[in-house]
Structure 1
Amino acid sequence: MSAESPIESWKLTLPCTRAEAEAIDAADDLAIDAVIMTTETVEDEVETWRLDAYSEREPDAAMIAALQALVPSAAGTTPQIEALVAQDWITLSQAGLEPLSEGRFVVHTSAHPIAPPDGGRAFLIDAGQAFGTGHHATTSGCLALLDRLADQNFANVIDIGTGTGLLAFAAAHLWPDARVMATDIDPAAIRVTAENAGLNKIAGIDLVVADGTLDDRVTASAPYDLLIANILAGPLVSMAPEIAAIATPEATIILAGLLDSQREAVVAAFAACGCTFEAMDRRGDWTILHLTAGATRYVPEGPFDPKGRDGWALDL
């Protein structure tokens, strides 16, 4: 490379399947020093997807191994590694993220600005450290369900595992008089949510770093009449009692981050806490659940065990 063309970032590419891509997009923290994007290369063909990882440093053996572990279907495939010269690698990583529309909402990145539909709302959510650009089926499905609930009235909303803050922002738009709290176990996600709130001119959301509902600020503001938890099936099962415990009687509960094969286990865990299954939205292999809390407020039988968070990796 010449002095006029310094290497500023690197791109690693591997083939993957749709199931692998969705699992990557849904993961809370991959612990890989790269921005990872997955793209459908042939429409509606589940085996023809692509993983692109953008990094400020050249991929070493450890990074390559970690990325290859995410896509077992590519075993034996040599990754394509490309040096990117004098380019904005964050913008490159977002280049494939076309605007997404769900009901009255449009979600876009800086690379693809778009005006909202009449009476709608556009959110600028760039890809980065936190999950929830809206493009994954779990997030877009929650967004669609919130849009369908617009005619209902909610006064106290909590978004557990907020990621980028997108679902909390949608709730704040739909119910401007409601109190909205957004929590995440990852401090980086709360920082990203705060930044996104500023970019989207959204004020008044309470941001809390919390392990599930295990924080005094979360319980002090309970009960909530709309609860959103877009995380993973394992934590949803282990957290069912504590989520039910902070819900008002007959509260609306939206759950996502689970595969359809995990749906029965999640529904059963919440049914044991008095919650009733209302409806679901299946998107590919993923399912978004709409539940209603019991007619009386749920009282847990004993203290919560935070060790249940080990369920992040639970294969239900």
Structure 2
Amino acid sequence: MSAEVDSWKTSFPCTRAEAEAIDAGELAIDAVLMTTEEVEDDVERWRLDAYTEQEPDAAMIAALRALAPSAAGVAPVIEPLTDEDWVAMSQQGLEPIREGRFVVHTSAHPVDAPEGGRAFLIDAGRAFGTGHHATTSGCLRMLDAMADRAFASVIDVGTGTGLLAFAAAHLWPEARIVATDIDPSAIEVTQVNAAANRIGGVDLVVADGALSDAITAQAPYDLVIANILAGPLVSMAPELAAIADAGATIVLAGLLETQRVQVVAAFAGCGCTLEEFDRRGDWTILRLRAGAARYVPSTPPDPKGRDGWALDI
């Protein structure tokens, strides 16, 4: 019996300039858009892929074609996709990545651990964080560079696949480690990955933000990791500072280089100072030190975890 079609992929050739001009946030197109460099350093050989739940109609094809004028007269390639197709696609091209003592690989590309290091099996799937994105690999490098430090309490906020929490567990096996995510499916993925990589002792928490009871009960943390996005990092700066011990290390990622000043300013307002940043292409990873200011609950925290906190300097 053939697998059931659950989505569609429509592809057009495009140029790099056309790919960079696409702003999905401003387009009234009901599709997930991706652009890919097909030939390295060839600005004319890029591809636009659009993923839709329904088979694309003439209006959708016309809207997509308008994004790639260079493809005028070229027929789109339209493919039905099944669950099996998505699994196969998710593993294509994901060669193992190496950062310091860590190597991250998928089932399709198994690899041995480096001497004195650790290999992690992280298949692409429902959660972000295979190690192949610059933000995640940059965080791995940042953690690896701190291997000679001593951390007793670590939290990974927005854990995704659990990879950064696993790296912390390898570097500081005696530490208390919490991995949290707003998405329950991410925590489910982390549980699967923890079992596949024989990782134990990581406390998994589904939470919106950093001030849920399950998180604050184990605060303060002397290492706070948050690989999310710039907007949430800015809005969550007070609560991430709230759970950080005085002088704690805070590693932030998911922000573009153009957003660095804004994120650093938000944390500076909470007493944190920038110690290092690592730029990787358009993305930047930050390492900050928490100040002596401490956030303590002035009233019992709101059930949603955001009210009732006051700054105690």
**Does the 8 A contact of 2:15 with 2:43 survive in 1?**
no
Give the alignment's Cα RMSD to 1 decimal.
Answer: 3.9
Offset of residue 96 of structure 1: 1.1
Cross-structure match for 1:13 = 11
**Does the 8 A contact of 1:37 with 1:93 survive in 2?**
no
- 2: distance between equivalents of 1:151 and 1:215? 31
Give the 5 Å matches for 1:1-316: 11-14=9-12, 39-43=36-40, 49-50=46-47, 59-60=55-56, 74=68, 79-83=76-80, 88-298=85-295
Structure 1 residues 33 and 174, CA, compared in 2 at 3 Å: closer, same or farther? farther
- 2: distance between equivalents of 1:38 and 1:103? 30
**Does the 8 A contact of 2:246 with 2:292 survive in 1?**
yes
- 1: distance between equivalents of 2:297 and 2:111? 46
From the CA coordinates, give the structure whose radius of gyration is larger. Answer: 2
Q: Which 10-residue stretch deviates more, 11-20 or 136-145?
A: 11-20
Deviation string 1:202-231 (CA, Å, 9 cap, x unpaired) is 111111111111310001010000000011
| Larger RCO, structure (CA 8 Å, separation 6 or more) | 1
Amino acid at match of 1:128: G
Structure 1 residues 47 and 278, CA, compared in 2 at 3 Å: closer, same or farther? farther
Offset of residue 81 of structure 1: 1.6
Cross-structure match for 2:311 = none
Offset of residue 13 of structure 1: 3.4
Offset of residue 120 of structure 1: 1.1
Structure 2: runs of 5+ lacking an equivalent: 307-313
- 2: distance between equivalents of 1:145 and 1:33? 35
Structure 1 residues 47 and 296, CA, compared in 2 at 3 Å: closer, same or farther? farther
**Does the 8 A contact of 1:241 with 1:300 survive in 2?**
no
Give the 3-state SS of the residue equivalent to 1:237 in structure 2. Answer: helix
Give the 3-state SS of the residue equivalent to 1:145 in structure 2. Answer: helix
- 2: distance between equivalents of 1:174 and 1:190? 21
Structure 1 residues 169 and 73, CA, compared in 2 at 3 Å: closer, same or farther? farther
Percent of aligned pairs with the same amino acid: 64
- 1: distance between equivalents of 2:218 and 2:15? 43
**Which TM-score applies when normalising by structure 2?**
0.79
Give the 3-state SS of the residue equivalent to 2:270 in structure 1. Answer: coil
**Does the 8 A contact of 1:12 with 1:52 survive in 2?**
yes
Give the 3-state SS of the residue equivalent to 2:294 in structure 1. Answer: coil
**Does the 8 A contact of 1:164 with 1:192 survive in 2?**
yes
Offset of residue 295 of structure 1: 2.9
Amino acid at match of 2:203: D
Deviation string 1:105-128 (CA, Å, 9 cap, x unpaired) is 111111111112111111111111
**Does the 8 A contact of 1:11 with 1:83 survive in 2?**
yes
Structure 1 residues 252 and 185, CA, compared in 2 at 3 Å: closer, same or farther? same
Structure 1 residues 250 and 54, CA, compared in 2 at 3 Å: closer, same or farther? same
- 1: distance between equivalents of 2:228 and 2:258? 16
- 2: distance between equivalents of 1:183 and 1:97? 25
**Does the 8 A contact of 2:210 with 2:305 survive in 1?**
no
**Does the 8 A contact of 1:7 with 1:83 survive in 2?**
no
Give the 3-state SS of the residue equivalent to 2:159 in structure 1. Answer: coil
Structure 1: runs of 5+ lacking an equivalent: 309-316
Offset of residue 86 of structure 1: 11
Offset of residue 181 of structure 1: 0.5
